[in-house]
Chains A and B, each alone.
Chain A
């Protein structure tokens, strides 16, 4: 158990009283100077040795501790005249407005105050936010013209930015303000939202200023030996200097005007000391013109203390570089550049079993790869191998030493890509040290990281303890993350070429010679005997692609499903399917059907990979995926696969037919407009005439676009590579292709045809009120043929909406996710299946009400009877 030095029972937030400031101060600071000519800190100066130590070796004059242990001690400055604290300026304004200028009571009748006081007491008892009452009180009390207590006529009080108050024509000095605040009774303070047990209103006007210890504002010694002071120290120097001049002038009985000016200057310096970003105050600058970073700036914002140093920290043992693909390494692995491997280290304790190996690491030192950077002896001394006598050290190495050796093959590291939106954004990989300067990753892990290689960078973290490494290996390794908890299917799987290659290989007419078959198996990393050839022709033996693919499937795998290319015929011909879309796998043999997106594509309903992962375990799934992707790529390379702009070529007669269809559609639209203009249009239920017309036109145009696409599709057969990719779901869609080949179609903004721009028309090229197809953003051209200038303009309008949408969506969903995570972060599922919060309170009596982990279930159900029957019999029930 960890020792608890002090238990926090309660916390109060209040203001520091001047007395408290003096009490916690170890010295009063009087001189603005920091060091004397010899470089020693001046007593009662800003660097007074009693304020704490920063230089190593010295002991603190106050607590006697060394640098690093001494937390530092506050000093204080006695201000010659009171100064307003900018941070409380609004509270001060409220207090002044709500109270009488003479008697200091809140300008409301006693009965009212009594009532409020009871309310506050009640709310405090319930632990509610009692201070919100103040808003209402200030609002009603500030407009009172005559004090109900002493009858004094109130004057209009104006707040003048940044720190001044005007009463009529008189300007209130901070002293006046403080006097008035002093007159507020404790009960009244309570009603103004200030708890007098911890804060008095007048403490918002400073008479003494705490000087933070030197540990808060350490000075930096440059290489040239010149000391450079912290921004806070600079600001404190200004304050003390002006304070001194002010008190001298007051003592000498200087004219009122001069004292007033100095006082204001002091107010400015104290204000900018607290925050250098007050509107209406020129920011305090360094001599070089750089704006000083004072107290508020240290805490505020993304790089401030809270967001930058407490919620998020910089860490050791991490690396970041560009990522690039490597289809040859396993999904579990990550290629680490040698340079990174030599910088990141793993501590290894010397035992009887590894002394010799570790001695060799030590001998090789920090510059040769499998080496070591430091050695730590049992007494805690560190030896830097860059400077130590490595041979000598290796000899003395014995049990109990710790060697910080280089990152090596098979080490476990965490790999991460921002934004870390789900748990698969950080996964554990096994290291493969490689030449080059980039991290290499298998293409199958792109989907969970949402990574591509257009310059993406990723982070790597090396867990140091054996415990952390084991935990990462068991829970976070890539293969353990294949099934996503989001939808229960694989999020890691084949992409693009992996699908194409498998399709080409498993097509009905794919026959392979012995050499080809062996080459493919070698690529897949299989060193097994070929099965019996399926076909013998003219003395040569041929293997089918399905045979080769089957060799990767685990024995005993039974599956039957419809592939992605299935055209959903009215009557399914099953095994006799014309396009081989009915997949049958029995006992690990692919008997029928082709492999496409339904087989093992990431983020798809991939039957094969899903089955393997759920029935044969994650290791089998990883092996299958590693092999199948390499096989597919080898197959695609062997058969050759390419796509180009001529894949979108359609014959002239097709073009003519498409143009005819589009012309017909235009005529139809014109006819509709004519009917509309004649007032003969029948409105659809719940729609105005105009809306009806728009809907009818959209309908006609959408239909014509679809018809044009269909014609193009007829001429784009399965011998077309672009079509193959779209049909099997590897990349692109038929819509993409028909837009390129036939017709782009209607452009829209907010789901309507384009209508804005000029008065009653989109562009001055059209007549006012033209509702025709072209005038409202219909694009009859194809991307391949090219857009006409006006069409291009409309296309840009539609495209702009898409861009804005994505930008807005990411911002909104990001914020939503942040709030969700904040709300749910402490929930966990207990061993009894309940979901509980950090206090043990029950949120759900059974996780998800059904107690099912989607990643370990089949289609969201605990038992999938259909699948079991199918697996046993090899036939699907449907």
Chain B
């Protein structure tokens, strides 16, 4: 079977792992602890594809019906 890169699928938006520096900035900006962010499992296919590790923050840029582009951050958790 040919390995398929999920990131190439049309329905999968752009995912990036945030460098720790940026991640801290984001937590500060929203004044939240990591657990108050939406979560993504470390076993998530996209998270695996971009090499996100436990405790990382993933930035997702996706198309939005209302705003054109929307940026969402997710905290990588166990699972």
Binding site for B on A (CB under 8 A): 832, 834, 836, 839-843, 845-846, 848-852, 860
Contact = CB atoms under 8 A, between A and B. Distances in A.
Given A842-B37, A842-B38, A849 B32 contact: no
B70 interface: yes
A849 B64 contact: yes
Nearest to A861: B66
Given A832-B30, A834-B30, A840-B32, A846 B70 contact: yes
B36 A841 contact: yes
Contacts of B72: 845
B57 to A, nearest CB: 12
A844 to B, nearest CB: 8
30 contacts: A832-B30, A832-B31, A834-B30, A836-B36, A839-B36, A840-B32, A840-B36, A841-B32, A841-B35, A841-B36, A841-B37, A841-B38, A842-B30, A842-B32, A842-B36, A842-B38, A843-B38, A845-B30, A845-B70, A845-B71, A845-B73, A846-B67, A846-B70, A848-B66, A848-B67, A849-B65, A849-B66, A850-B64, A850-B66, A860-B66
Contacts of A841: 32, 35-38
Contacts of A848: 66-67
Contacts of B70: 845-846, 849
A696 to B, nearest CB: 38
A348 to B, nearest CB: 44
Most B-side CB within 10 Å, residue of A840, A843, A860: A840
Most A-side CB within 10 Å, residue of B64, B66, B67: B66
Contacts of A836: 36
A860 B66 CA distance: 8
Interface in B44-79: 64-67, 70-73
Interface string B25-45: 000001110011110000000
A792 B18 CA distance: 69
Nearest to B33: A840
Interface of B: 30-32, 35-38, 64-67, 70-73
Contacts of A852: 66
A849 B64 CA distance: 7
B44 to A, nearest CB: 18
Contact of B67 (A839, A842, A849): A849
Nearest to A834: B30
Nearest to B37: A842
A536 to B, nearest CB: 55
A851 B67 CA distance: 8
Given A845-B70, A845-B71, A850-B67, 10 more contacts: A841-B35, A842-B30, A845-B30, A846-B67, A849-B65, A849-B66, A849-B67, A850-B64, A851-B67, A852-B66
A850 B63 CA distance: 12
A868 B73 CA distance: 35
Nearest to A847: B66
A841 B31 CA distance: 10
Contacts of A850: 64, 66-67
Contacts of A839: 36
Nearest to B29: A832
Contacts of B30: 832, 834, 842, 845
Q: Which 7 A-B pairs have the closest CB atoms?
A: A850-B67, A849-B70, A850-B66, A841-B36, A849-B64, A849-B67, A849-B66
Contacts of A851: 67
A486 to B, nearest CB: 15
Contacts of B35: 841
A835 to B, nearest CB: 11
A849 B67 CA distance: 6
Contacts of A860: 66
A860 B70 CA distance: 16
A841 B38 CA distance: 7
A831 to B, nearest CB: 11
Nearest to A851: B67
Contacts of B64: 849-850
B64 to A, nearest CB: 4
Nearest to B66: A850
A846 B65 CA distance: 13
A842 B72 CA distance: 10
A843 B64 CA distance: 15
Nearest to A843: B38
Nearest to B72: A845
Nearest to B39: A841
A859 to B, nearest CB: 12
